[in-house]
């Protein structure tokens, strides 16, 4: 045991043991930090994926609503054009009848 006391009383050995202890503590600290960080970043990544998924679904719903609205407006426009075409045909027939009666 006296040789251990003699060895540890040496200044250079004390510095080397101190450095080794510091390296060990830093390594353990970094390992704990990486575990905590990976769990936290994993949760954040999962949360971001869920939010993106919800946002995509809402965008799909909105696009479908816009398509439906466009289709209904297009059909309404077609109905209005056909109605106007029938009115023009009716007026043309009346003008032809009036001009035929006037002769």
Residue 17's CB: how many other CB atoms inside 10 A? 13
Distances (CA, A) of 45 to 15, 17, 34: 44, 41, 16
CA distance 62 to 27: 52
Q: What is the pLDDT of residues 37-78, one digit of tens each?
A: 877 777 877 888 899 999 999 999 999 999 988 888 888 888
Contact 13, 7 (CB under 8 A): yes
Q: What is the pLDDT of residues 15-45, one digit of tens each?
A: 888 899 999 999 999 998 888 887 777 787 7
If one compares 14 and 48, the residue with the highest pLDDT of the two is 48
Q: What is the pLDDT of residues 71-100, one digit of tens each?
A: 888 888 888 888 899 999 999 888 888 888
pTM over 0.85: no
């Amino acid at each position: 045991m006296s040789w251990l006391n003699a060895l540890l009383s040496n200044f250079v050995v004390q510095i080397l043991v101190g450095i080794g202890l510091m390296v060990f503590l830093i390594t353990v600290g970094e390992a704990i930090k990486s575990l905590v960080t990976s769990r936290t970043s994993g949760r954040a990544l999962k949360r971001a994926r869920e939010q993106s998924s919800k946002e995509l679904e809402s965008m799909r719903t909105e696009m479908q609503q816009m398509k439906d609205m466009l289709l209904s407006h297009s059909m309404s426009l077609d109905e209005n054009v056909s109605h106007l075409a029938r009115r023009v045909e009716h007026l043309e027939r009346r003008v032809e009848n009036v001009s035929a009666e006037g002769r």
